[in-house]
Amino acid sequence: MNGPLRVVIVGGGTSGWMAGAALATVLKSGQPDAIANVRLVESSEIGTVGVGEATLPQVKDFNDYLGINEAEFMRRTNATFKLGIEFVDWGKRGNSYIHPFGAFGYPIGGVEFQHYWVRGRRLGLTSPLEAYSYAVVASRRHRFDFPSEDLTSIRSTYSYAYHFDAGLYAAYLREFAEARGLKRTEGKVVDVRQNADSGDIAAIVLESGEVIEGDLFIDCSGFRALLIGQTLKVGWEDWTPWLPCDRAVAVPCESVADITPYTRATALEAGWQWRIALQHRIGNGYVYSSRFIDDDAAAARVLGNLDGRPLADPRVLKFSAGRRTHSWTNNCVAVGLASGFLEPLESTSIYLAQIAVTNLLQMLPARAIDPALRDEFNRLVDNEYDRVRDFLVLHYHANSRDDSELWRYARNMPIPDSLAFKIEQFRHRGHITQYKDGLFSPASWLAVFNGQDINPEGYDRLADNLSDDMVREKLDELESRIRVNVEAMPDHTQFIRDYCASRENPAATRETVG
């Protein structure tokens, strides 16, 4: 059969419309020279999870790849900027650290910065590690500006992400995708037909009776996993022994202060609470383990811990941490929650959908699917999930809290061998392995290790090539440069007002402080 590949996306939401926007744009859907024609089927009767509001810097790369205008997208989605994630009361009560989107210092003589910082502490220097991160210092001061394109500048050592309304983002991408040839069909899937010989999905049947055939099906049906789970029966790896939180209660509230350029995650008795500042409101939620607290108590806990008046009733979501044993099976690719779920502690959900879409574009099949492409896709997706899993587990496991059952359980639970290896490497000599594939950089691991009191017993001996005086001089000079440059940055709330204020943004007319 000749002609464009027929791609059918089942489900909308953020993952469905990310897939739709990217595939329709790159594959020239609906055009005479189309590589593929893309069709998305969704039902307004079926709700989406839709509480994801925090992202990682890679989403900017995705938007730029599609040619999305940043200021317009931010106005349309009530978006703000994000320089990192603050963790409060993790590791132990009373502490706070920020996982920045950027570096700590810079390598000196081929040796990573943390080794010089460890050596500096032994020389009597007292500045915390965060003093050497541009993104952390800017976050603490509520400042923002675009990173410098001059890679020799200290202002180039950070990146940024966004906070946005996920529902508005999906709606924005829908408009974007339909303008580029994607065909959307409103309808509820009531049956899935398979090829009797191959087991491939041949078509979906809508409640209206319409039959939609396709060559490649993308399952964006969320936790339902209509195609990959219910139809193809692909297995699920359960990670709840390592990530015991299985519920979240979400509630937005009024914004009563200036807009913070970071997400906040505050550890509570049975999990943790998120705080995400958008232009028009604050997103809040309590991620918790139902083994240690019930839904009503969790809702009461988050309602008692809001900045302003709640804007909706608390909404409870149930989930299980884990991933599919194969995200691509037969002619079906699972993207988003149908593929796997890892709690939103490090804002990875949108990234995991994004990386699946970009990998699929690089391995786009013909009608006869090459098993080697499918295997490589699954290897890459599994790598992403496994390494994010280890990073999240680290936050729970590295704690000295003794005030609740959850934290005692997490401290004493067996952990993946891959995580145990990374902890031991760092504890021995401050070494953090840099993998080719996988999301989090050594700076991210360093932030959590240091923030939760996993400290190296030694450091790279090559750091001894500098004299004591030179180590002191370089650390003092770096700290001073960061401090001076951050003080010259605009206030974050003011920057948003000038650059991308939405009509719903109270800060567009409110005077800023600081």
Distance CA 26, CA 363 (A): 13
Distance CA 306, CA 250 (A): 11
Residues known to be catalytic: 82
Rounded Cα distance between 406 and 86, Å, is: 21
Provide the 10 A C-beta neighbour count for residue 435. Answer: 11
How far CA 111 is from CA of 201, 304, 431, 463, in Å, comes to 52, 47, 10, 6
Element spanning 328, H or E:
strand 328-329
* Rounded distance between C-alpha atoms, residue 68 and residue 74, angstroms: 10
CA dist 276 and 163 (Å) reads 7
**20: alpha, beta or left, given left = phi > 0 and alpha = psi -120 to 50?**
alpha
For the four alpha carbons of 437, 440, 446 and 448, in that order, the dihedral sign comes to: negative
Closest listed residue to residue 26, CA positions, set 335, 364, 356, 333: 364
Cβ proximity of 14 and 353 under 8 Å: yes
- Please, what's the largest Cα pairwise distance for the chain? 78
Element (H, E) at 302: helix 295-303
Residues β-bridged to residue 39:
8, 183
Residues 6+ apart with CB under 8 A from 477: none
